[in-house]
Structure 1
Amino acid sequence: MRKRILAAILIAIAASLTMAASAFADEEVLVDEEIAIEMSSRFFDAVLPDKEIEVGEVVELFNADGEAVGFVAHAFEDGKQQGYVVFDKTEELGVAEFGLGEDAKSPYQLTKQNKVTSRSFSEDVFYRTGYSEYVTIDAASGLGRDVAGNSTSQKVANVATPADKRENDRSPKPEGWNDLFMSLVNVYRDYSITAVNAVSGATAYAESTVEAQTGKYACAVSAALTVCTYYVKTGGLSSLASDYNELWSLMNATVDKVENGITYGSTKKGAAGPAVKTFCAKRGKTIGYNFYLNDSWNLYKNAIDSGNMAITRGNCNDSGHAMAVVGYLQLTDKTDYSIKLNTLMVYDGWYTEQRVLNYGSPYYENKASIIFS
């Protein structure tokens, strides 16, 4: 009898703890600049454990509807930038992406041409419009830039003005941010790196460089060229035009549009596999590949661990986007290792900085992969 009573008590305690944890997970907290800095500091303690990091220049992040969803924070050591992180409450563990190292420029910096504002409540409005797509719009003029450095506008980007910057609300709210509520567990989470690896030696070219040298651009062709530079020796910038045109032809790229003298193209899923194989074979290197319509994070992990590269392709805002994969990193919750954040280290084709993107993002759908061997 006592054993049955004890068992019943333990079951009741376990059930109450489960309900409490569930309720706690659903609770949200109002995030201001101070909390954002504390939140980012815990993140950088995990990913940059050997650095004495100070977090600065935190900028609030909005979705296309003008709703506050997160922020970007920049990490510094002795005045030199060491990385960035973008938090978005719609993502797993609240992390959208991050970058590490002195060359890691945040999406916000790229939209500002690498210039970070000193005040987070400036007239600039920082939006996330897709998986790895962001724009910064000046609230007064409605003009801005995207991460590729292209000029855009509020109308073209199709983003709404946040409530506190609309004409009928004259208060700029200098005392804090627009209402940003984030999961309590994500705000106070401590992280641990449980798996990380990357290959080195690949070369990426910015979209602007490709366009200037070739008069063309297609993200899948750029991803394929980055992979080729890892496996074979190319002529660098001097042969960029001929290499790009060769892959464009091998991938049977079709013209989507011609704008400002630049031809923009697209390719079929999987086209990069045989194209890279042929390109490398002509230069004396035999490689293989496999194409997966139903990919998984472990496919990329296994490829990198074997010393190879991959290409990931998925739908972002109803259009396909391909990126070269050079590594992976897995973060877990320090108190519960079953809670994981799987990321991919990629060159996205728009610029040369490496980004670490959340693989499980709701912004990135219908994923397919090409795994090289």
Structure 2
Amino acid sequence: MTDLFFFGTLRHAPLLSIVLGRGPAQIDITPAELPDHAVHWVRDQPFPIIIAEAGACAQGMLVRGLSGADLARLRFYEGGFGYDLVPVTVRTGNGKVSAQMFFAEEEKWPVGALWSLADWAARWGAISEEAAREVMSLFGRWSPQDVAVRFDAIRRRAAARVAARQGAPDRDRDLSRDVRAGDHRLPYANFFALEEVDLSVRQHDGTMGPKVNRAALVVGQAAVVLPYDPARDEVLLVEQFRAPVYLAGDPAPWVWEPVAGLLDPGEDAETAARREAHEEAGIEIDRLEPVAQVYSSTGSSTEFLHLFVGLTQLDGPVAATGGTDLGEDIRTAILPFTELIDRVDAGLYRDMPLVTTALWLARHRGRLRSAL
């Protein structure tokens, strides 16, 4: 059996419970501290690092009696991020205790301000719990390094799940009564994931339906913005190769779209829309007009779209090509609003967010132009 000292996010009881695979009441926890050390944020990251600092005292907790199986789960969760176990001597209410601690060299991560467990839990606790559920579902299938490579996508999906739970419940139905779900399975996870579940749902006649197998492509949240210059009455579109269109067998997988991109964890949709406009087209958005907040395909995907029309000026230099993500190859085009709508009416566009934002713009264009 092994005793570990935890100084950071695993002090959050729900997170530690997920990683160890058992309830908090089954975990032997004692408050403890590590002298001459301090816990800091990793700069620009939602997790901490512990560093040697004379006269400081890092608050934490001692978890006693961890088994070999416990250590394997903890190494899986921590190992891909440069953390490894080192011996430490901590203080508890009963004196000094020898233990081990997951530690990363300071050179591994840039050090930021002093870290606060309460501040972290308020902003990142729920997202980290969701991410840990996905990570630990892959225990025994992936290596810690596999997790680290894909962790940004895992955390992006986790943030989307947390955001989805904030939606208004159906006033006519009770999920706890009307949906009976078995274990969720994750047969595939990479940039996107595939989640599968066996469930039964109460039918409209009041009876419970049969057990069925259902799956969804788990994506995240995305911001979509159609840049529009009301003075020039022009829009900007981007074109890029889309692998799903190619995999569908479509002979023309280069698709014209609005500017779009996935939200980073903790990022709001407006910030993401402005960021993507700058990255993909090199333009700045003056004002965002909300169009809709919708699921892109409720029968197959969890992707949730924040749709905007972005008021901008298209009389200056615009990047002919753009994109910052690996593999992105984007070109831009500026065209008059009338040409955009003619092409929509002719069925020449195949991207649903483009058609949706174009039709919204057709409805509100007069208002936007009269405000000049």
Query: TM-score, length-normalised on structure 1?
Result: 0.26
Query: TM-score, length-normalised on structure 2?
Result: 0.26
Bigger RCO of structures 1 and 2 (CA < 8 A, at least 6 apart): 1
